[in-house]
Amino acid sequence: MSEFKSGFVTIIGRTNVGKSTLINLLVGEKVAAIANKVQTTRTAIKGIVNRENSQIIFIDTPGIHKPKHKLNETMIETSFSSIKESDLTLFLIEATSKEVGKGDMRILEKLKETNQKTILIINKIELVKKEALLQLIEEYSKQYQFEAVIPISALKPQYKETILDEIEKHLKPGPAYYDIEEYTDQTVRQLAEETIREKALTLLQDEVPHGIYVEIQKMNLRKNKQNQDIYDIEATIYCIKESHKGIIIGKNGEMLKRIGKLARIEIEENFGLKVNLKTWVKVKENWLDNPSIVNKFKLK
Ligand SMILES: Nc1nc2c(ncn2[C@@H]2O[C@H](COP(=O)(O)OP(=O)(O)OP(=O)(O)O)[C@@H](O)[C@H]2O)c(=O)[nH]1
Ligand SMILES: [Mg+2]
């Protein structure tokens, strides 16, 4: 029998390239929030995959971008620190890129600094022609000695096993660090907060979603009249301006109701029990530059 292997694998890339979509695909559970907006992921999130002969611990990271405030700086710090703490890196890029841009250059510099073992993953390949893909592989291969290059579409499950097989090849013998029932390092409370934030991100536009954070005040498990398990959850959505608060609540409270409904349905599905969700909206100006709040997003 072959020896059991394990290792930490960081997923790094520019914002919006599909890192969280990929970790969810690989883990087979909803580990990380996904949205068609930049800067969705704010901290490092672990997702655990147990295979017959290995345990792979993935670390999803905030996308690399140009920082505008303290939160952005902390996010980027978290991503680059995660690389150093991992045994292998998955560098994710978008097939639609025309060249190696500034953000990717910064990532490549960090990989070179530590001579990180790295697999290049090219995502969203269904959006481009084969010639463009080959050209991109050539461009990036000039920049770094990758262990492998794998073109994928993270929306399609067919690529999952290929990626996991390739990763396993590069892992060293080691123990299972987590119990096999665990699939993430996040608490139930954090998962619920992220679900609510994801729905707000998806439904809101412009700069409103970027100034949001969600905090759950109360989360109590009880039995309802039919003797079913039910979670009573009370959450506050914080935003940076009074005008944003109005948008998040919406006319007659419609927007807040939509966010709450989508979040409730997903939390119920993911936790397999009923949820009674109450949400409030509050303004907290300048929190994006407030160290005591932003420190929550630092690498633990
Ligand atoms: N067309 C296409 N879209 C994809 C694919 N993979 C992910 N996406 C979409 O890309 C968008 C961003 O996905 P995320 O997984 O949130 O990206 P991310 O890299 O985690 O972004 P940040 O957390 O902001 O760094 C979402 O709308 C996804 O549905 C793909 O293979 N093809
Ligand atoms: Mg993400």
Could you say which of 173, 203, 227 is where a domain stops?
Answer: 173
Bridge partners, 282 (sequence order): 238
219 in the same domain as 74:
no
The alpha carbon dihedral of 4, 89, 26, 178 has a sign of positive
Is residue 91 included in any domain, yes or no?
yes
How far is it, in rounded angstroms, from Cα 94 to Cα 127?
Answer: 9
218 in the same domain as 155:
no
156 in the same domain as 192:
no
Is residue 180 included in any domain, yes or no?
no
The H or E element spanning position 114 is helix 102-114
Question: What is the number of structural domains in the chain?
Answer: 2
Choose among 74, 115, 108: nearest CA to 92: 108
pLDDT of residue 299: 74
pLDDT of residue 300: 67
Is residue 181 included in any domain, yes or no?
no
Atom of ligand 1 nearest to the CA of 36: 27
How far is it, in rounded angstroms, from Cα 121 to Cα 132?
Answer: 15
- Smallest CA separation from ligand 1 atom 8, residue: 18
pLDDT of residue 297: 86
Domain that holds residue 31: 5-173
Choosing from 11, 16, 97 the residue with most ligand 1 atoms within 8 A of its CB, the one to mutate for a pocket test is: 16
Is residue 17 included in any domain, yes or no?
yes
- Smallest CA separation from ligand 1 atom 9, residue: 18
The CATH number of residue 23's host domain is: 3.40.50.300
Could you say which of 116, 144, 173 is where a domain stops?
Answer: 173
Is residue 107 included in any domain, yes or no?
yes
Atom of ligand 1 nearest to the CA of 22: 15
112 in the same domain as 67:
yes
Phi, psi (degrees; rounded to nearest 5) at 246: -60, -40
116 in the same domain as 265:
no
If you count them, how many residues does the chain have?
300
247 in the same domain as 162:
no
Is residue 178 included in any domain, yes or no?
no
Cβ 41 under 6 angstroms from ligand 1: yes
157 in the same domain as 127:
yes
The CATH number of residue 221's host domain is: 3.30.300.20
Cβ 82 under 6 angstroms from ligand 1: no
Is residue 74 included in any domain, yes or no?
yes
**In terms of DSSP bridges, do strands 229-239 and 274-283 run parallel, antiparallel, or are they unpaired?**
parallel
How far is it, in rounded angstroms, from Cα 295 to Cα 300?
Answer: 10
What's the 60 CA to ligand 1 centre distance in angstroms?
A: 12
User: How does the average pLDDT of the chain come out, rounded?
Assistant: 96
How far is it, in rounded angstroms, from Cα 125 to Cα 220?
Answer: 44
194 in the same domain as 132:
no
pLDDT of residue 90: 98
DSSP string for 196-242: HHHHHHHH--TTTGGG-EEEEEEEEEEE-TTS-EEEEEEEEEEES-H
126 in the same domain as 60:
yes
pLDDT tens for the chain, 300 residues: list them: 679 999 999 999 999 999 999 999 999 999 999 999 999 999 999 999 999 999 999 999 999 999 999 999 999 999 999 999 999 999 999 999 999 999 999 999 999 999 999 999 999 999 999 999 999 999 999 999 999 999 999 999 999 999 999 999 999 999 999 999 999 999 999 999 999 999 999 999 999 999 999 999 999 999 999 999 999 999 999 999 999 999 999 999 999 999 999 999 999 999 999 999 999 999 999 999 999 999 988 876
139 in the same domain as 16:
yes
Could you say which of 113, 146, 173 is where a domain stops?
Answer: 173
204-243: string of b/e by CB count within 10 Å (b at 16+)?
Answer: beeebbbbbbbbbeebeeeeeeeeeebbebebbbbbbeee
Is residue 118 included in any domain, yes or no?
yes
210 in the same domain as 117:
no
157 in the same domain as 206:
no
